[in-house]
Amino acid sequence: MEKLLIVSGELSGSLYAQELVKRLREDFEVFGVFHKEVEGAKRIYDSNRITAFGLFEVIGKLGEIRRALKEIEDFIRKERPKALILIDFPGFNLKVAEIAKREGLKVFYFIPPKLWAWGEWRVKKLKALVDKLFVIFPFEVDFYERFGISAVYVGNPLVDLVFPKLGRESFLKATSLKEPLFSLLPGSRSGEVKRLLRPLLEVSRRFPGSWALPVASTVNYALVERERDRLNEGVKLLREELRYDLMAYSRAGVIASGTASLEASLLGLPHVVVYKVNPLTYLVAKGLVKVPFISLPNIIAGRKIVPELIQKDVNPRKIERELISLLEREEDVRRALKEEVRDRLKGGCFDRLREAILEELT
C-alpha cells in the first residue's frame, strides 16, 4: 500500500487530520506530524513540541524546529511517501514543502497561508512549492488564481464539526450550570492564555450570570485553575469537549481571536473577540496585515458583526462595555452570524477533500 505523509501543527490541524485520515486510510498507509494521536495513522513527530504563537515566541523553539525538520526529511528519504499533505501551520509547513519538493514529492496544501491577509510576498514561494491548494473560504480561489496558483474550494471543515453533543437540559444538568450562560475562551496556546486569562476572569466578576471556561488540553489546567480560584471561583471550568455545547447555549462570550471565534459564529453566539500578543510581534504584524479585521467572522462577512479588542484595549472595562452592547442587539447579531457567516460556507469538506486528493494521485 502506498504511503501518505500529513503534517499539521496545532490542535485544530490534528482534528482536521483525524477526519481526513478516516477517509484515506483504506487507500493509503498514513503517517503524520500531529498535535495528538490520530486513529488510523502513525505519528512520527509530536507537533506540540514546536507550536508557538507570535514571531518572537518562535525564537525559543528554533532548535526543536530544526530537529523536527530533520526527522521529517529522514522519514521522507526512507519511506518515500507518494505525496505530502500540509494542513495550516504555514511557518513550519513551507519548510517541509521545500524538503518534499527536493525529494520529488507531490505537495498538497489544505488551509494554506492566509496571504490575502498578510505576507503576499510569499506567493511566489507557495507557487513554486505546492502542486494544489485546497482552500476553506470561497473568496480564496480568486485570490490565489490571480497569481497562477491552482486552488479548489472544498468547503469549510468547521461546518461539519461544530455542533453541540448534548441537549440544553442535559448540558445544564451535567455541568450544574444555570442560565443565563456566558462563555470564556482564552485560547489553546499557553502564550494566549497567559495574556488573556486574567482580563477574561476579571470581566466575569463585573458581569452577572453563570460563567464557564472550557480548558484546552494543550494548556496547563492547574495554572488556569489557580488563576480562576484567585480571581473568580464562580467560573466553572469544563472539559474541552464541552466547548461547543457551552457556546451553543450561552447568551454571549469573550473569545480569543482565531478558530474559536469562527466556531462561535457557526453556533450563532454573539461574542467579543480579544487579541493580545507580545508587543514586538504586534508592531511587526500591524505593518504587514492588509485586512481591516482580525476575526474570521468579520472577514467573511466583510463588515464588523462582532466587536474586536486588541492589545491594551483587552481590559475588563472595555470588554464589559462591548458585552452590554452585544446583548442589547443579541437577535440582530445572531441573525447576521447565520446569514453572513454560516450560510456563506458549505459543509462536506472532508469528503470533497478526499475525492480531490484521489483525483490528483490516480
Q: Report residue 67's pLDDT band, with 50, 70 and 90 as the boundaries.
A: very high
CA nearest 330: which of 251, 212, 247, 272?
Answer: 251
Task: For residue 291, name the pLDDT band (cuts at 50, 70, 90).
Answer: low
Among 33-47, 254-268, 290-304, the range scoring the smallest mean pLDDT is: 290-304
pLDDT at 122: 87
Do the beta carbons of residue 33 and residue 6 sit within 8 Å?
Answer: yes
Rounded to the nearest integer, the mean pLDDT of the chain is 92
Parallel/antiparallel/unpaired status of strands 271-275 and 3-8: unpaired
Query: pLDDT tens digits, residue range 207-237?
Result: 889 999 999 988 999 999 999 999 999 999 9
Domains contained in the chain, CATH given: 3-156+346-361 (3.40.50.2000), 168-344 (3.40.50.2000)
- Mapped onto helix, strand or coil, the DSSP state of residue 290 is coil
Tell me the three cell numbers of residue 314: 483587552
Mean of the pLDDT values across residues 251-273?
96
Residues 213, 236 contacting (CB under 8 angstroms): yes
Alpha-helix runs per DSSP H in 167-258: 168-175, 190-206, 221-231, 243-249
* pLDDT digit string, tens, across residues 74-116: 999 999 999 999 999 998 999 999 999 999 999 999 999 988 8
Residue 135 is predicted with a pLDDT of 97
Q: What is the pLDDT of residue 285?
A: 62
Is the confidence at residue 56, as pLDDT, over 90? Answer: no
pLDDT value for 214: 97
CA distance 332 to 340: 12
Confidence band (pLDDT; 50, 70, 90) for 51?
confident
Cα(173)–Cα(52) distance, integer angstroms = 37
Question: What pLDDT, on the 0 to 100 scale, is given for residue 255?
Answer: 98
Which pLDDT does position 229 carry in this prediction?
Answer: 97
Which grid cell is 64? 526543536
* pLDDT > 50? residue 8: yes
pLDDT (0 to 100) of residue 62 = 80
Signed CA dihedral, 201, 298, 138, 95: sign only: negative
- For the stretch 157-170, pLDDT in tens is 999 999 999 999 99
Per-residue b/e over 193-226, b at no fewer than 16 CB within 10 Å? bbbbbbbbbbbbeebebbbbbbbbebbeeeebee
- For residues 183 and 212, the answer to whether their CB atoms sit within 8 Å is yes
Residue 191 has pLDDT above 90, yes or no: no
Using 50, 70 and 90 to split pLDDT, how confident is the model at 55? very low
DSSP code for 113: -
The confidence score (pLDDT) of residue 57 equals 54
Whether the predicted pLDDT of 287 surpasses 60? no
Where does the pLDDT of residue 59 fall: very low under 50, low under 70, confident under 90, or very high at 90 and above?
low
Pick the residue with more confidence: 61 or 97? 97
Q: What pLDDT score was predicted for residue 104?
A: 96
Cα–Cα dist 140/164, whole Å: 29
Percentage, residues of the chain above pLDDT 70: 94
Distance CA 271, CA 243 (A): 14
Residue 289 has pLDDT above 70, yes or no: no
Average pLDDT (338-344) is: 96
Pair type for strands 83-87 and 106-110:
parallel
Residue-level pLDDT at 270:
98
284: pLDDT strictly greater than 70: no
Residue 252 has pLDDT above 50, yes or no: yes
Nearest by Cα to 97 from 67, 135, 126: 126
pLDDT of residue 241: 94
Per-residue pLDDT averaged across 306-312, rounded?
Answer: 95
The long-range contacts involving 40-47, CB below 8 angstroms and separated by at least 24 positions, are: 41/6, 41/17, 44/5, 44/71, 44/72, 44/75, 45/71, 45/72, 47/7, 47/8, 47/9, 47/10, 47/13, 47/14, 47/89
**Average pLDDT over every residue of 336-349:** 96
**What is the band of 283 on the pLDDT scale with cuts at 50, 70, 90?**
low
Between CA 237 and CA 105 the distance in angstroms is: 45
